Amino acid sequence: MSTIVVTGTNTDVGKTMAVAALARLLADAGFTVTCVKPAQTGEPAGSGDMVTVTRLSGITDTHEFARYPEPLAPNQSASRAGMTQLDFDDTIARIAALDSGDDTVVLVEGAGGLLVRIADDWTIRDVARRLDAPLVVVTSTGLGSLNLAELTVTAARDAKVTVAGLVGGSVPTDPDLATHLNLTEFEVVTGCPLLGCLPEGAGQLERSEFAAMAAESFDTAALLAALGLAPATGPTPGE
Protein backbone atom coordinates (compact mmCIF):
# COMPACT_ATOMS: atom_id res chain seq x y z
CA MET A 1 0.00 0.00 0.00
CA SER A 2 1.05 3.56 -0.62
CA THR A 3 -0.40 6.38 1.41
CA ILE A 4 -0.24 9.98 0.19
CA VAL A 5 -1.25 12.90 2.38
CA VAL A 6 -2.70 16.04 0.78
CA THR A 7 -2.68 19.32 2.65
CA GLY A 8 -3.16 22.98 1.76
CA THR A 9 -1.35 26.20 2.41
CA ASN A 10 -4.65 27.44 3.82
CA THR A 11 -8.33 26.65 3.63
CA ASP A 12 -10.22 27.05 0.33
CA VAL A 13 -7.17 26.69 -1.90
CA GLY A 14 -8.52 23.80 -3.99
CA LYS A 15 -7.37 20.86 -1.86
CA THR A 16 -10.44 18.72 -2.54
CA MET A 17 -10.19 19.43 -6.28
CA ALA A 18 -6.58 18.25 -6.16
CA VAL A 19 -7.54 15.06 -4.31
CA ALA A 20 -10.21 14.35 -6.94
CA ALA A 21 -7.74 14.97 -9.77
CA LEU A 22 -5.05 12.78 -8.22
CA ALA A 23 -7.60 10.06 -7.53
CA ARG A 24 -8.78 10.05 -11.16
CA LEU A 25 -5.25 10.05 -12.57
CA LEU A 26 -4.08 7.24 -10.29
CA ALA A 27 -7.15 5.16 -11.07
CA ASP A 28 -6.58 5.66 -14.78
CA ALA A 29 -2.96 4.55 -14.24
CA GLY A 30 -4.24 1.22 -12.91
CA PHE A 31 -4.20 1.79 -9.16
CA THR A 32 -7.00 0.98 -6.74
CA VAL A 33 -7.69 4.31 -5.08
CA THR A 34 -9.18 4.97 -1.65
CA CYS A 35 -9.79 8.50 -0.39
CA VAL A 36 -9.99 9.45 3.29
CA LYS A 37 -11.06 12.61 5.07
CA PRO A 38 -10.42 11.96 8.77
CA ALA A 39 -12.49 14.93 9.95
CA GLN A 40 -15.12 16.87 8.01
CA THR A 41 -16.54 20.07 9.45
CA GLY A 42 -19.35 22.42 8.58
CA GLU A 43 -21.19 20.30 6.01
CA PRO A 44 -24.76 18.95 6.16
CA ALA A 45 -25.56 15.31 5.51
CA GLY A 46 -25.13 14.36 1.87
CA SER A 47 -22.41 16.89 1.16
CA GLY A 48 -18.75 17.37 1.99
CA ASP A 49 -15.32 16.86 0.53
CA MET A 50 -15.58 13.12 -0.06
CA VAL A 51 -18.93 13.58 -1.77
CA THR A 52 -17.26 16.12 -4.04
CA VAL A 53 -14.36 13.74 -4.75
CA THR A 54 -16.79 11.03 -5.84
CA ARG A 55 -18.84 13.42 -7.97
CA LEU A 56 -15.79 14.68 -9.85
CA SER A 57 -13.56 11.61 -10.02
CA GLY A 58 -15.97 8.68 -9.94
CA ILE A 59 -14.00 7.14 -7.06
CA THR A 60 -16.53 5.62 -4.69
CA ASP A 61 -14.24 4.09 -2.06
CA THR A 62 -14.21 7.08 0.27
CA HIS A 63 -14.11 7.29 4.05
CA GLU A 64 -14.89 9.91 6.67
CA PHE A 65 -14.05 9.13 10.29
CA ALA A 66 -15.74 12.06 12.02
CA ARG A 67 -18.12 14.88 11.12
CA TYR A 68 -18.47 18.01 13.21
CA PRO A 69 -21.16 20.66 12.71
CA GLU A 70 -19.47 24.06 12.57
CA PRO A 71 -17.01 25.14 9.82
CA LEU A 72 -14.04 25.43 12.16
CA ALA A 73 -10.84 23.54 12.83
CA PRO A 74 -11.94 19.99 13.72
CA ASN A 75 -10.78 20.17 17.34
CA GLN A 76 -12.69 23.41 17.89
CA SER A 77 -15.79 22.20 16.12
CA ALA A 78 -15.79 18.97 18.12
CA SER A 79 -15.30 20.78 21.43
CA ARG A 80 -18.04 23.31 20.78
CA ALA A 81 -20.46 20.53 19.87
CA GLY A 82 -19.52 18.40 22.88
CA MET A 83 -18.33 15.64 20.55
CA THR A 84 -15.39 13.28 20.92
CA GLN A 85 -12.23 14.29 19.10
CA LEU A 86 -10.50 11.75 16.90
CA ASP A 87 -7.85 9.62 18.57
CA PHE A 88 -4.54 9.73 16.72
CA ASP A 89 -3.52 6.08 17.07
CA ASP A 90 -6.99 4.88 16.11
CA THR A 91 -7.01 7.16 13.06
CA ILE A 92 -3.63 5.83 11.94
CA ALA A 93 -4.82 2.24 12.39
CA ARG A 94 -7.97 2.91 10.37
CA ILE A 95 -6.00 4.42 7.51
CA ALA A 96 -3.53 1.52 7.53
CA ALA A 97 -6.42 -0.97 7.50
CA LEU A 98 -7.51 0.35 4.10
CA ASP A 99 -4.64 -1.53 2.49
CA SER A 100 -6.09 -3.89 -0.10
CA GLY A 101 -3.04 -4.85 -2.14
CA ASP A 102 0.20 -3.74 -3.71
CA ASP A 103 -1.54 -1.46 -6.20
CA THR A 104 -3.65 0.35 -3.61
CA VAL A 105 -3.13 4.05 -3.07
CA VAL A 106 -4.77 5.77 -0.11
CA LEU A 107 -5.18 9.53 -0.46
CA VAL A 108 -5.63 11.27 2.89
CA GLU A 109 -7.03 14.79 2.81
CA GLY A 110 -6.32 17.08 5.74
CA ALA A 111 -8.42 19.97 7.02
CA GLY A 112 -7.24 23.42 5.98
CA GLY A 113 -3.50 23.87 6.36
CA LEU A 114 -0.72 21.61 7.54
CA LEU A 115 -0.87 22.56 11.23
CA VAL A 116 -4.64 22.79 11.65
CA ARG A 117 -5.54 20.71 14.70
CA ILE A 118 -7.55 17.62 13.81
CA ALA A 119 -7.64 17.02 17.55
CA ASP A 120 -6.02 19.05 20.30
CA ASP A 121 -2.85 16.96 20.19
CA TRP A 122 -2.30 16.19 16.48
CA THR A 123 -2.36 17.55 12.94
CA ILE A 124 -2.24 16.10 9.44
CA ARG A 125 1.53 16.60 9.55
CA ASP A 126 1.64 13.99 12.32
CA VAL A 127 -0.27 11.57 10.09
CA ALA A 128 2.24 11.97 7.27
CA ARG A 129 5.14 11.54 9.68
CA ARG A 130 3.73 8.43 11.39
CA LEU A 131 2.83 6.75 8.09
CA ASP A 132 6.05 7.90 6.40
CA ALA A 133 3.80 9.17 3.62
CA PRO A 134 4.80 11.74 0.99
CA LEU A 135 3.01 15.06 1.27
CA VAL A 136 1.38 16.95 -1.58
CA VAL A 137 0.90 20.64 -0.82
CA VAL A 138 -1.97 22.41 -2.60
CA THR A 139 -1.26 26.10 -2.79
CA SER A 140 -3.06 29.25 -3.78
CA THR A 141 -1.35 30.98 -6.70
CA GLY A 142 -2.00 34.69 -6.27
CA LEU A 143 -0.23 37.42 -4.34
CA GLY A 144 1.21 36.13 -1.06
CA SER A 145 1.22 32.50 -2.14
CA LEU A 146 4.99 32.10 -2.30
CA ASN A 147 5.29 32.87 1.40
CA LEU A 148 2.51 30.45 2.33
CA ALA A 149 3.95 27.67 0.17
CA GLU A 150 7.46 28.08 1.57
CA LEU A 151 6.20 28.20 5.16
CA THR A 152 4.21 24.99 4.64
CA VAL A 153 7.08 23.12 3.00
CA THR A 154 9.49 24.30 5.70
CA ALA A 155 7.14 23.18 8.48
CA ALA A 156 6.80 19.75 6.85
CA ARG A 157 10.53 19.30 6.41
CA ASP A 158 11.19 20.41 9.96
CA ALA A 159 9.15 17.37 11.02
CA LYS A 160 11.09 15.08 8.62
CA VAL A 161 8.10 14.77 6.28
CA THR A 162 8.93 14.34 2.60
CA VAL A 163 7.21 16.85 0.34
CA ALA A 164 6.55 15.22 -3.04
CA GLY A 165 5.51 18.44 -4.70
CA LEU A 166 3.07 21.30 -5.03
CA VAL A 167 -0.24 21.64 -6.86
CA GLY A 168 -1.63 25.00 -7.89
CA GLY A 169 -5.15 24.76 -6.61
CA SER A 170 -7.10 27.33 -8.59
CA VAL A 171 -5.47 29.27 -11.41
CA PRO A 172 -7.63 32.04 -12.92
CA THR A 173 -8.38 31.98 -16.62
CA ASP A 174 -6.71 35.38 -16.90
CA PRO A 175 -3.91 35.27 -14.31
CA ASP A 176 -2.53 38.54 -12.99
CA LEU A 177 1.17 39.39 -12.87
CA ALA A 178 1.70 37.96 -9.39
CA THR A 179 0.20 34.62 -10.41
CA HIS A 180 2.28 34.46 -13.59
CA LEU A 181 5.45 35.05 -11.60
CA ASN A 182 4.49 32.72 -8.76
CA LEU A 183 3.98 29.77 -11.08
CA THR A 184 7.65 29.95 -12.02
CA GLU A 185 8.90 30.85 -8.54
CA PHE A 186 7.22 28.09 -6.51
CA GLU A 187 9.92 25.56 -7.35
CA VAL A 188 12.66 28.11 -6.68
CA VAL A 189 11.54 29.12 -3.18
CA THR A 190 10.38 25.69 -1.99
CA GLY A 191 12.76 23.33 -3.78
CA CYS A 192 9.75 21.19 -4.69
CA PRO A 193 8.38 20.39 -8.15
CA LEU A 194 5.14 21.99 -9.26
CA LEU A 195 3.28 18.82 -10.19
CA GLY A 196 0.40 20.54 -11.94
CA CYS A 197 -2.15 23.33 -11.72
CA LEU A 198 -5.92 23.16 -11.66
CA PRO A 199 -8.00 25.87 -13.32
CA GLU A 200 -10.39 28.05 -11.40
CA GLY A 201 -13.88 26.56 -11.52
CA ALA A 202 -12.69 22.96 -11.86
CA GLY A 203 -15.27 21.89 -9.30
CA GLN A 204 -18.09 22.88 -11.65
CA LEU A 205 -17.02 20.50 -14.42
CA GLU A 206 -18.86 17.35 -15.37
CA ARG A 207 -17.05 14.12 -14.51
CA SER A 208 -15.75 13.43 -18.02
CA GLU A 209 -14.63 17.05 -18.39
CA PHE A 210 -12.90 16.89 -15.03
CA ALA A 211 -11.01 13.73 -16.01
CA ALA A 212 -9.86 15.36 -19.26
CA MET A 213 -8.79 18.49 -17.38
CA ALA A 214 -6.80 16.43 -14.86
CA ALA A 215 -5.01 14.53 -17.64
CA GLU A 216 -4.06 17.82 -19.30
CA SER A 217 -2.95 19.46 -16.06
CA PHE A 218 -0.50 16.76 -14.91
CA ASP A 219 2.25 14.66 -16.46
CA THR A 220 1.20 11.29 -15.07
CA ALA A 221 4.63 9.68 -15.40
CA ALA A 222 6.29 12.59 -13.60
CA LEU A 223 3.55 12.52 -10.97
CA LEU A 224 4.05 8.83 -10.24
CA ALA A 225 7.80 9.36 -9.97
CA ALA A 226 7.36 12.27 -7.56
CA LEU A 227 5.02 10.20 -5.40
CA GLY A 228 7.41 7.25 -5.39
CA LEU A 229 4.91 4.99 -7.14
CA ALA A 230 5.97 2.23 -9.49
CA PRO A 231 3.61 1.65 -12.41
CA ALA A 232 0.62 -0.43 -11.35
CA THR A 233 0.87 -4.14 -12.13
CA GLY A 234 -2.85 -4.76 -12.39
CA PRO A 235 -4.94 -4.47 -15.55
CA THR A 236 -5.45 -0.99 -16.90
CA PRO A 237 -8.99 0.36 -17.21
CA GLY A 238 -10.89 -1.30 -20.03
CA GLU A 239 -8.83 -4.49 -20.06
Which residue numbers belong to the known binding site for substrate? 41
Pairing of β 135-139 and β 104-113: unpaired
- Residues at the binding site for ATP are 49, 109-112, 169-170, 199-201, 206
For 152-184, the DSSP string reads: HHHHHHHTT--EEEEEEEEE-SS--HHHHHHHH
Mention every residue, 6+ apart, whose C-beta is less than 8 A from residue 182.
141, 142, 145, 146
Q: Residues annotated in the binding site for Mg(2+), as ranges?
A: 16, 49, 109
Which of the following is catalytic: 15, 24, 37, 125?
A: 37
* Residue 74 CB neighbours (<10 A): 27
| Cβ atoms of 113 and 11 closer than 8 Å | yes
Can you tell me the distance from the alpha carbon of 146 to that of 149, in angstroms, rounded to the nearest whole number? 5
The torsion angles phi and psi of 23, rounded to 5 degrees, stand at -60, -45
Taking alpha carbons only, the member of 43, 19, 7 closest to residue 151 is: 7
Give the integer Cα–Cα distance in Å for 121 and 103: 32
Binding residues: 16, 41, 49, 109-112, 169-170, 199-201, 206
Q: Confirm whether 160 is a catalytic residue.
A: no
Residues acting as catalytic residues: 37
